[in-house]
Amino acid sequence: MTTLKSFILRLASNEDGAVVVEYVFLLIFIAMVALGAIRTFGGAVTNKMGDNNNSVANAFGN
């Protein structure tokens, strides 16, 4: 436990640690935006792909 505490203290006192934290927050934000977009547009994209699949199948007589 002391090694974790010392690591966190060292990371907090070091300027590189702040940069790492900023990148982590940025990565989390990007992931949240991506997941939101997938949830919002996912159903519409799935339906459109199904329509395209049916159109191609009908074009080849299947």
Residue range 18-50, pLDDT digits in tens? 788 888 899 999 999 999 999 998 888 888 888
Residue range 6-17, pLDDT digits in tens? 877 776 676 766
DSSP output for 35-53: HHHHHHHHHHHHHHHHHHH
Q: Answer whether residue 44 is part of any domain.
A: yes
Residue 14 pLDDT: 66
Q: Which domain holds residue 38?
A: 18-50
Q: Answer whether residue 33 is part of any domain.
A: yes
Q: Answer whether residue 1 is part of any domain.
A: no
What's the token pair of residue 39? 């949830």
Model pTM greater than 0.85? Answer: no
How many separate domains does the chain show?
1
Q: Answer whether residue 61 is part of any domain.
A: no
5 or 11, which is more confident: 5
**Residue 4 binned pLDDT confidence (cut-offs 50, 70, 90):** confident
Q: Answer whether residue 58 is part of any domain.
A: no
20, 8, 10, 4 alpha-carbon torsion, rounded to 10°: -130
Would you say 57 and 48 are in contact if contact means Cβ atoms under 8 Å apart?
A: no
